[in-house]
Structure formats: structure tokens, C-alpha cells
Structure 1
Amino acid sequence: MVIKENIFSFLTLILLAAVAPALAFAQELQPVPGVIHLESQAAGSPLSFAEVVERARKAGMRVVVFNDKYNNRVEYGLPPLRHLFRKFEERGSIRGYGADLYLQEINELARQHPDMLILPGAEVGAFYYWAGSVSAFVGDVLSREGLSRLLVSGKGDKEKIGKFDYRQNQVDRGLKVVNFHKDMLVLGLEKADDFHNLPTVSNRKPLIVAWSSLLNLWPLPLLVFALARLFPPRRATPYPYALAAQPTATPKAPEPLSTGLRRARKSSMMLIVISLLFLVNNFPFFQPKYDQYHGDQGSAPFQDLIDYVNDRGGLIFWSAPDISTGVFQAGPMLMETRPYSSELLTTRNYTGFAVFAEGMKSSGIPGGIWDKVLTEYVHGDRARPVWAIGELDYDVGDWLGETQTVFMLRELSRKDMLAALREGRIYAVTGSAKVPKPVLKKFQIWDEAGQRWAEMGETATVRRPTRIKIELIVPPEAPALELRLIREGAIVWNTEITGSFNEIIELDYQQKKGMTYYRLDLDSQLIANPVFCRLPTASPAL
């Protein structure tokens, strides 16, 4: 037991020595451990911002990224006045806490801890939709439990419908909210307004500003007509009373006209009430681009979110693409979020995705969706590569540090940390929070053009054979691990290691032109981002 503790202390000292505030060491990159997707008091966690940071410090983390839920609200409105006759449930979120206060408190913590990097971010669900009938709404949403059960911690009841064939009729017939937990992680936004205007269905943004929006003013002519009918212009000598004013005329009671006026007034009042209700319901008259009542809108709402974040200089990652939530019973309703790893292929220009803990079923495995995306990039079918991170989704407990994103930094600064995320100078590692993790010191490819070692995320000009440098520090008590190199989805080299590893590998890859990449996978516990290779113009092979 003493030996294990000494080993753990030894490895911890190695890592901390590498990232001590003297990170002002030369230009050599050093691994800095961090955690992404921590939750706090803003989203209902029992822990304050300071308590989360202190736990991260004790776990040996030097980078802390908060990603509280931006908008934790679910709503159902009855047609045709969905914005007036509605029921909603909202739990802890950045929107409810206040984006200004959220940014202020996290940035203040960052100033108090200069030896750490503490950043604000958000977990954002751009879109969800309702499936089911209005009659189901009456029976389900307006029930005593209603929407409140949809937002309990844990994303639904403990009961998971794994094999729900026998309940398929209920699944198809009843009311359910779909894709409420289809989320993305946003960071790098510095202004509160950038949070306020996030394009999400709960925010009713983005709004469509077009001539068609004038149709939402249709109650206005009706209101004018009703008011004109209720208060008609007075005539100088109304006909029925002109006769009554003559001495020889017999006065006539105007019952038919009075009855007509009363009816006109009643109908006018009704029209006024109806038109005012619809005017209030339609305000601000610009239609949101998406709502939750017209079924699945595919990738479009999420692509809008990606574009919005990119336009403001932020970073955005798909969260838990291989999610296993499935279908949950939530009070009288169902909550359904299926795996959405296919979005890695259908959306563009996002920064990356979380390979741990919910990304290694189909996305991050060799030959999985990530490899397909990277292959699109090297073949010229995609403008940007996609990086892998680890996300913790931590709110409380003793498992902080279980999943880490390790940043390869030249200096301990927010600027270099964000640059590492943007450029792919990161790797993800997972395992028990109480056991030391492998440390990847180097994963590089020799660049013939620059006469240097290219880092993760960079592109090297290579000749045959390709020289790949790998330096791994593995805890001595760790079991045998398989070290793999993956190129365009195929495992092209592998070996079993039982301790630390430091070698230069040479691979002979025959390719006449173009680009390729190599990425490192240590037994599905440590995933490094790729180094790209470009064939020199005059060379016949790679």
C-alpha cells in the first residue's frame, strides 16, 4: 500500500512539476490536466463555484471549465394561443441565475487563483420538440405532476425503458419530449449578451425578420373594424328620431334598432377581445425560426448554434454524442433522447466532440464516425478538422478527475489554453479518479519541410518512411495496455506495453498524393488528437 502511495505521489510530482507556474519555460509543450463540463450552484448543484474549484485543485486539476445548463426549461402551449395558454417548468440554469452574475463570479475566481485556469462556459440544447397529441397534453402535461418530472436531476426517472416493445403503443400514443438532452458545450464567449442571444428554441431565437412576419399583425385590422363598429360616427339627425321630433308624427319605439345596436356591441366587444388576445400572443410579431411543435428539424437548429458561436470567436463541442439515455418515464410522460453521433457528419465547423465518457461506442472507436469526419477533412471534403475532448458532467461526488482533457501548453494562460482547444493540442484520458492516469508527453511526426517535430493538430510534410515519436508515462502498477496508431479508420500499428514507452516509430505508407493523418489510442483509455501528414510535391510516396 505504501508503494502504491509513493508511486502515485511520484507521478503527481512529475505532472505538477511540468506545469508549475514556471510554465514560462521555453517553448516546449507541457501536459496540463484539466476538467471540462463542471456544474455549480447556477444549475442546481449543491456545490458553489468556489467549492467545485477547490475539489478540482485537490484532484490535481489545473484547468477548470464550467458548463452549467444554459436553459433548463420545457414548455407546452395549447394552439392557437400557444404563448398565452401554456404550461412550463424551469429549473436551475445560467439564464435563471443571470449570465452577467455567472460570468462575474467565475472570472473573479479566476483572478483569485492565478495558478489555475478557470473559464465559464455553457451546456446548450439548441432544440427539442414534442411528439404526441393535444388530447395527450390535457391528460399528461396538465396533470398534477406535469412537466416538473421532466427536469428532475438525472435527466428523468431512474426507470429506463430499455426493452419497451410491450409499451410501444404508449410510446407512440402518449405525449413525449424528444431530444431535450441533445446538447453542445460552448466556451470562449466573454460577453453576457452573447449568452442572452444564444439561438435556442427556449430562447425563441433566431427570429425571422421578413415580410411574412406582417401576417402576425392580422388581428390589427380586426381590432380597428371592431372599434369602428362599437363607436360609429354620430349622424346629425338620426332618421328614426327625426320623425319623432315632428308634432304631427306618432313617436315610434326604436326596439329593432336598439336590439341591433346591442348585438353589434356584443359582437364588437367579442372581436376586440379576440383580436387583443392574438395580438398579445403574436408579440413581438417576428416568428422564431424554430419551435417545439412542428416535429424534428434535423441538424439545422444546431448548425445555427455552431455558426453563432463561431461568429463570436467561441468554441463549440458536441456533448455525449453516443448518449445512452434512451427513453425514460418522467411522471405521466416520456422523455426520449437517442444517440446523435450522426450529427458529427451532418454538421460543419464545430470545434470537436466529447469522446469520453459518452463518445466511444460509435464515434471515437477505430473506423468510427470521428475517423470518417477526419478522412473527409484530409480528402478536401471538409473545411476544418474535428478534435476530441473529455467531458466530466460533474455536479457532486468524489469522482472529479475521472475524465480529463489534458492541454499541451507553452504557458499557463487562458489565451494559450483556448488556442490549444482550437488547434487540437489536447488529448482525453479516462479512468478511476483514485488511480494515476497515463501521461502522454509527446505524440509528434517529423516535418521534413520545417525540420521539426509537428504536434497534435499540426500538419507535417513527410517522406517515406514517416517518423512518429511517442513518449508515454504509464503507472508501474497499470495492467498491460494496447497502444494503437490509427490512420483513416484503420489500425496500422499496435503493440502491447507494460510500462512507460518512449520510441520513434517508422511507418512506410504508399500514397501518391494528398494528405492523411495518424492518431493515437491507448487501450480506449487515452485518445490523442491527430497529427496530419502532407506529401511533398516532388515525392512519389508517403
Structure 2
Amino acid sequence: MILSLGLFSQGPVTVQAAGPLRPVVAAVHVHSTWSSGDLTLDELIARARALGVEAIFLTENHLQRFEYGLPPLRNVLRYRVEYPSLLSRGPEPFLEAVRAANARQQEVLLIPGTEVIPHYYWTGDLWSGTLTMVNAQKNILAFGLYRPEDYREIPAIGNPGAAHWSLESLWLLWPAVLAVPGVWLLRLRRRRPVRLQHFQLTVERRYTGYGILCLGLGVVLLANNFPFRRPPVSPYDPNAGLRPHQAVIDFIAARGGLSAWSLPEARDHQVVTVAGRRATIQTEPYPSDLLATDRFTAFGGVYEDTTTFTEPGQGWDRLLADYLDGRRAAPAWAIGEAAYHREGQAGKRFGDVQTVLLVDRKDPAALLQALRTGRLYAVQRAPEVGLILDQFQVLLPQRPPAEAGDRLALRVGDRPEVRAVVRSTDGRRVGIQVRLVRAGAVVQTQRGDTPVSLSWTEAPLPADTRVFYRLEVHGPAGQQILSNPIFVQTAREEAR
């Protein structure tokens, strides 16, 4: 027999011995006064320092501009609302402010990022009160973009920097030709003689009114078509589907950044009145969209709302299985998503939802690499106490331990052991439940007071086995830990 060691889509993978890893507690998805937050960067740093948070992944609003226009002149007869954002204030001063804050201190590192609205669209009718703006909260988070042009060119709805010239631009410029008949009509004179009893008159007819009308129509149509470039997507296109979202994900990846689906099971429903007319703002939960898109880095797996996508056997496990089977280009890591704007908003407190990154050094590059490779876990804690995942590893004799995000190549017949240790932040005893999930199924459940240790050993693995292990921990008052997976695959046996 010959053993084939082609593992995963990346080729042969083994776990290399690494230096000691230390946990860095981070708040991910945080807004400051640079967009919709109430705290300045320095105030966020001070609050994080007081709570033991060592990194803040900022997600300032990319573009907060919403508009609705009446057909057929949607760009002329329109109502627009705009809120502070990176594009309205300029990404250059934001990036400089982040750089300066990191230069002043190193206790709390700031990672620049943005929250992008790839697409929203309108349904219904303004006059009947059924007008609805759909998917304005189906957003993508971007991290690790350090150049102003990376923000200016994100192909998001309403972003003029993402519009481009095309053959369609010629069509949008066509009203300019109305200047020709307009000027001709202004200059046109038609004379005809009128014979009276004793003399003859010449009557001159001018077409000034028609010329002005023609020129005016051209000006209005040009104003409606300005800036004559094709936008990435239209707010009046209900059939765009997930194309705009995948385009944003791919753009961020091409620029070297990391992307994350934001709050996939949160629901947004508001009714507003504009100029005496009723309009609805609505975003339904969209966990299935994570299965229909690819190449994003992460998603909000733990946040202060009901979630089902990460339940054993549900969407996340199907996504990970598709990755193992080669049907997806990349896995997706679960992060703790704070979605923090201000203290007390929707009952939120800074630091209650955390992402703990495992790094060999504390700097922005290492934090981003930990997020890129899945070496992290998500936490929701209570104000007085939290939970810590001291250990989550897959072990084999005489092999370096595999950590979250690792891909472990095994031989046929190997019996990997999974070990985990959970304790409380202050050493007190907290009653918890720990579940080990293997390829979407719970294979071990352990209940007890912290510290809790779990150990589980596989049966001998047959050839061409592809599995993953991940951990769920639940405690009182909504406390939880969600680990990221460790992937395992055995060699494939082929006939000689």
C-alpha cells in the first residue's frame, strides 16, 4: 500500500512547534467618535485598560449615506440622509489618529477597521406607506487595511470611489446631444410675407421656448445621470443577491485585509417618518448567507443576541465540513462581536463580549495573523466574573500539540486525544457545562464547577478521515466560550 499525504486544499500540513502563546483579550467591532461611537480613541483605551482588554479592533462606519429618489429622476428628486463615516471625514486622519494612539502607548493596541454596508435596496411605494429599505444592516467588517485608498475604493453601495467608467457612461452622457437641437432651435428664424391692402409685412417666427425646453431637459437629465460612472450596485436593484457582499469580501482579501460577517442572526426593524411619509427599515437574520459566500475570514459567533448558527450540527459545522471536503476555499472563524457604540446601548457594557487571541508577541501584525489563522476563542462574560479557556489542544505522543485553527496530519490508526481546561477569571467556583463537538456531533459533555478539565480520546482513525473538534462552554448569566476548530485528517490509502 502507498499512503497519500495530500491534505486539505493547501497540500500537506503538519503542526510545527511554536513558541509559547499568550492570550490577548480584544474587543472586536468597536465604534469611536470617528463615526457613530460616543467615546474618543483615548477614552476607549482608558476604558479597555481598566477592564484588562489589551486590543481594540475598530470598525468605524465606512459610509453612512442613505437615499431614495422618485422615478424617473431618482438622482434629482431624491431625499438623502448621511451620518459621520470614514469616507465623509476622510480615512487619512483616521489612520493617522490610530497610528498616533499606538505610538503614545502600547498597553491597548488599536487595529484600524471599518464596517461596510455592501448593499441595501428599496421595495414598496412611498405614497402607500409600504416603502421599505432592506438589508442596511447586513454588513461586513474589514480589518487590517492601512492605506487610505483601500477604504476609498471598497465596492460598497453609494461609494463614488468605487464607481467606474464603462460603455454605460456613454449612454449616461447622451442628454448632452440635446444641446444641438436646443441651440438650433434658439437660432432658428422662419420668415413669411403677409400681404395687406396697401403694404406687405414680413412675419418672423422664433422657437426660443422650444430651444430653452430642449436645453433644460438636457441639463436635468445630465444632472440625474451625474457622475456618469457605473456604481458598484444600485439601491433600486432587489435582485443583486449576495453579489455585492462577495465583491466586498474579495476586495478586502485582495488588499491584504480580513473580513467578517457582522451579527448574522441579529434582527433590525424600525419605522420612521420622513416628510410626513412612513418608511420601514428592515434586515432579517441571514445565517444562511454565510454558507452561500466564501473566502471571508470570520463571523460574529458570540454576541448579545440569540444565535443558532453555531449549535452542533447547524450552519457553522456544515460550513466547516464543506471546507474539509474541498467545497469551500476557506474556513470561517467564530469571533466575539462587541458591536459597541456607547455604554448602556441595548444593555451593552464594554468588555462583556471578547475575542481572545493567542499570539507569541503582542503587536498588530501578530493579532491580525491570529485572526487570519483562527488561533482565538470567543467569550461572553458577566461583569463580576468571566471564563478562561486555559487549554484546548489535540495531542499525539511525540508530536507538538495542535491549537485552534491548526490542521493536523495523522497516520492511519492514530488515536488523537483532545484536552481542554476551563477556569474562572478570579479563581472562584462557577458551575459550567463543557461540550466537545466532533464534526458536528457532541461526543462528550462534562458538568462541574471551575476549574473543569476534559479529556477525550478517539478510536483508531481509518484512512481518509476528515474531522474537526471544537469546544462549547456555557455558564450562568449567559456566560459562554466558543472555541475555533482544530482540523484532523488521516492519509488516504491507494492501491500500489
Runs of 5+ unmatched residues, structure 2: 1-17
How far the C-alpha of 1:539 sits from its partner, in A, is: 11
- Which residue of 428, 441, 455 maps to 1:490? 441
User: Does the alignment pair 1:194 with 2:150?
Assistant: yes
How far the C-alpha of 1:446 sits from its partner, in A, is: 2.8
How far the C-alpha of 1:102 sits from its partner, in A, is: 1.3
Does the 8 A contact of 1:67 with 1:121 survive in 2? yes
Does the 8 A contact of 2:470 with 2:483 survive in 1? yes
Structure whose residues are more often strand by fraction: 2
Q: What are the Cα deviations for residues 140-183 of structure 1, in whole angstroms up to 9, with x where unaligned?
A: xxxxxxxxxxxxxxxxxxxxxxxxxxxxxxxxx51121111111
How far the C-alpha of 1:127 sits from its partner, in A, is: 0.9
- Which residue does 1:305 correspond to in 2? 248
- Which residue of 87, 103, 116 maps to 2:108? 116
Cα RMSD (Å): 2.5
How far the C-alpha of 1:455 sits from its partner, in A, is: 1.5
How far the C-alpha of 1:472 sits from its partner, in A, is: 2.5
Distance of 1:127 and 1:360 partners within structure 2 = 24
* Greater displacement, 181-190 / 219-228: 219-228
Residues matched between the structures, number = 462
Distance of 2:192 and 2:272 partners within structure 1 = 68
SS at the partner of 1:185?
strand
- Which residue does 1:383 correspond to in 2? 329
User: Does the alignment pair 1:456 with 2:412?
Assistant: no
Does the 8 A contact of 2:185 with 2:210 survive in 1? no
- Which residue does 1:141 correspond to in 2? none
Does the 8 A contact of 1:127 with 1:180 survive in 2? yes
| Partner AA of 1:410 in structure 2 | D
User: Does the alignment pair 1:409 with 2:364?
Assistant: no
| Partner AA of 2:456 in structure 1 | I
Does the 8 A contact of 2:392 with 2:419 survive in 1? yes
Distance of 2:169 and 2:272 partners within structure 1 = 36
User: Does the alignment pair 1:528 with 2:483?
Assistant: yes
How far the C-alpha of 1:133 sits from its partner, in A, is: 1.6
Cα distance 1:204–1:301, how it changes in 2: closer, same or farther (>3 A)? farther
Does the 8 A contact of 1:321 with 1:354 survive in 2? yes
- Which residue does 2:6 correspond to in 1? none
How far the C-alpha of 1:239 sits from its partner, in A, is: 8.0
Does the 8 A contact of 2:34 with 2:60 survive in 1? yes
- Which residue of 32, 39, 43 maps to 1:47? 39
User: Does the alignment pair 1:184 with 2:176?
Assistant: no
Larger Rg: 1
Cα distance 1:339–1:360, how it changes in 2: closer, same or farther (>3 A)? same
Q: Normalization by structure 1: what TM-score?
A: 0.80
- Which residue does 1:468 correspond to in 2? 418
How far the C-alpha of 1:473 sits from its partner, in A, is: 2.5
Does the 8 A contact of 2:396 with 2:416 survive in 1? no
User: Does the alignment pair 1:254 with 2:212?
Assistant: no
Cα distance 1:413–1:274, how it changes in 2: closer, same or farther (>3 A)? same
Does the 8 A contact of 2:354 with 2:379 survive in 1? yes
Structure whose residues are more often helix by fraction: 1
User: Does the alignment pair 1:477 with 2:428?
Assistant: yes
Cα distance 1:266–1:509, how it changes in 2: closer, same or farther (>3 A)? farther
Q: Normalization by structure 2: what TM-score?
A: 0.87
- Which residue does 1:444 correspond to in 2? 393
Distance of 2:364 and 2:221 partners within structure 1 = 49
Q: What are the Cα deviations for residues 267-305 of structure 1, in whole angstroms up to 9, with x where unaligned?
A: 111010101111122123222231111325211110111
Distance of 2:221 and 2:340 partners within structure 1 = 44
- Which residue does 2:308 correspond to in 1? 362
Does the 8 A contact of 2:126 with 2:279 survive in 1? no
* Greater displacement, 113-122 / 58-67: 113-122
Does the 8 A contact of 1:447 with 1:460 survive in 2? no
Moved beyond 6 Å, runs of 4+: none
Does the 8 A contact of 1:323 with 1:358 survive in 2? no
Distance of 1:509 and 1:525 partners within structure 2 = 31
